Amino acid sequence: MHFENIQYLYGLIIIPFFILLYIINVRLKKKALAKFGENSVIEGLMPLVSKQRPLFKFIFIVLALALVIIAAARPQFGSKLKEVKAEGVEIIIALDVSNSMMAEDIRPNRLKKAKRAISQLLDNLKNDKIGLIVFAGDAYTQVPITTDYTATKMFLSSINTDFVPKQGTAIGEAIRLAMKSYSPDNEQKKVLVIITDGENHEDDPIQAAVEANEKGILVYTIGMGLNKGVPIPIKGRSDYKKDASGNVIITKLDEATLVKIAQAGGGIYIRANNTKVGLSNLYNKVEKMDKSEFETVVYSEYEDNFQYFIGFALLFLLIEFLIMERRNKKMQKINLFNLKL
């Protein structure tokens, strides 16, 4: 059994409160009647009053309410199982989170623009696997290769320049980490997309791209930034980062390096701008690649069964309606529930 809207079941919490209010109300009525005399005398003066009927009416109302709440939660029962074989491409995105990605030559800044483009890509993925690496002076796996796009978007939203304490732009290290991150049994083409401003200060990314391509990984690069160069804003201050001499640091897009990395990795280079990053166009090219078959996944299909709960709720309300609050002289001989009323 499965509930599609399980949060509605919290509504069942109100049932004990209704029961408590009913008990309090009954006791208050008894105390009020006790002021007029003995119970036996009062009952003789009110021959048509029933003690059990209000209780049964209340029980049917509470049951109907509980069933309506359960129905709102959309109870579902598994009807059948089916096997689904998914085919797709494994894509790892290596995202630069160095301080230079905070430059605002691409609005609102390079990093935010890149994250939005990745988020839009995730919305369009179907059966492809996705992984996410963040890098600056070091590289770290943020999301292992997966088909859980919702979780990937959640982790993506939290990424900022504080994720990697060591500053720099180690593109080569990000490529080598990606090489270890694909599914070991995948013999089809794999894709690595590097989103960065290209200012590599740490290693040899071109040689790393060659090694990746030899292992069947296509390396694409997306350049974030403009060639003219801009200062790097300091978070929370209206000032810019400076070097040891007090000069404002200017960050420029190193387009030449990114072109060489893409060529060495068998991919292409795309330059981002304020209109688009180019990730969607790149994905259109990736979609035409040979796809690998992922593991067989067993899905359970569920059928809605809330209508049965609604039906019983209506039945209980009908019964409650037919039970009159007081005894009826004409109906006294009819006792549906064989009770002493």
Q: What is the pLDDT of residues 55-68, one digit of tens each?
A: 888 899 999 999 99
Q: What is the pLDDT of residues 308-321, one digit of tens each?
A: 899 999 999 998 88
pTM above 0.85, yes or no: no
Q: What is the pLDDT of residues 253-264, one digit of tens each?
A: 999 999 999 999
Whether residue 282 sits in one domain with residue 228: yes
In a domain, 340, yes or no: no
Whether residue 106 sits in one domain with residue 241: yes
Q: Is the peptide bond before 47 cis (omega within 30 degrees of 0)?
A: no
In a domain, 339, yes or no: no
DSSP label at 51? Answer: S
> Could you tell me the two tokens for 170?
């180690």
Q: Band the pLDDT of 78: cuts 50, 70, 90.
A: low
Whether residue 319 sits in one domain with residue 243: no
pLDDT at 112: 95
Q: What is the pLDDT of residues 86-145, one digit of tens each?
A: 678 899 999 999 999 999 999 999 999 999 999 999 998 888 899 999 999 999 999 999
In a domain, 164, yes or no: yes
**Integer Cα distance of 228 and 233 in angstroms:** 16
The b-or-e profile of 234-263 (16+ CB within 10 A means b, else e) is eeeeeeebeeeeeeeeebbbbbebbbbbbb
CATH number for the domain spanning 137: value is: 3.40.50.410
Average pLDDT of the chain is 84
Q: What is the pLDDT of residues 278-296, one digit of tens each?
A: 888 888 888 777 666 655 4
- Residue found under tokens 């040891």: 244
CB 231 within 8 A of CB 249: yes
How many structural domains comprise the chain? 2
Mean pLDDT to the nearest integer, 322-338: 59
> Could you tell me the two tokens for 133?
């690496």
Q: What is the pLDDT of residues 180-214, one digit of tens each?
A: 999 887 777 799 999 999 876 678 899 999 999 99
pLDDT at 75: 86
In a domain, 341, yes or no: no
pLDDT at 100: 92
- Residue found under tokens 């049932």: 15
Whether residue 250 sits in one domain with residue 109: yes
CB 227 within 8 A of CB 172: no
DSSP letter for each residue of 5-32: TGGGGGGGGHHHHHHHHHHHHHHHHHHH
In a domain, 116, yes or no: yes
Residue 267 phi, psi (nearest 5):
-110, -155
- Domain span at 242: 87-293
Whether residue 258 sits in one domain with residue 199: yes
Measured distance between the N- and C-terminal CA atoms of the chain, rounded to whole angstroms = 40
Share of the chain above pLDDT 90, in %: 48
Mean pLDDT to the nearest integer, 5-24: 90
Q: Band the pLDDT of 341: cuts 50, 70, 90.
A: very low
pLDDT at 144: 95
Whether residue 327 sits in one domain with residue 262: no
pLDDT at 247: 92
Whether residue 257 sits in one domain with residue 208: yes
